Amino acid sequence: MADGRTDTIKTKNDTAGQTDWDVLDRLVTTIRSRKGADPSSSYVAKLLGKGRLKMAQKVGEEAVEVAIAAVAQDKDALIDESADLLFHLMVLWADAGLDPADVMATLGRREGRSGIDEKKNRKN
């Protein structure tokens, strides 16, 4: 692409068979391993210990920070806040016993479908 972006996010930093998305797999493993850990030595354990309501609140705060960075057109802040949002969302998923693969499967099922049609057919 002319602007320096790659066609897919998977190929952006592909080195020695490692992709950007491998980071998410490692993060899932790390988050799962921190369940039950000492909250004084693990931020994940500290978040998990605060309960789901607090984790959900943190996800909301991070989402707002992403929106603010986007509106401010601050690319670096948008990257940082997006990483924070994704991290906190993954901690919340872990607490809820949700496998990120289930989220990816849902995205896969929606691929190629009109978002407007998909929302019309969604159960609320």
CATH of residue 40: 1.10.287.1080
Would residue 39 count as lying in a domain?
yes
Residue 34: pLDDT band with limits 50, 70, 90: very high
Would residue 52 count as lying in a domain?
yes
Would residue 85 count as lying in a domain?
yes
Structural domain total, the chain: 1
Length of the chain: 124
Look at 45 and 114; give whichever has higher pLDDT. Answer: 45
Q: What is the pLDDT of residue 37?
A: 95
Question: What is the domain range of residue 36?
Answer: 19-104
Q: What is the pLDDT of residue 119?
A: 73
Spatial distance between the Cα atoms of 27 and 17, rounded to a whole number of angstroms: 17
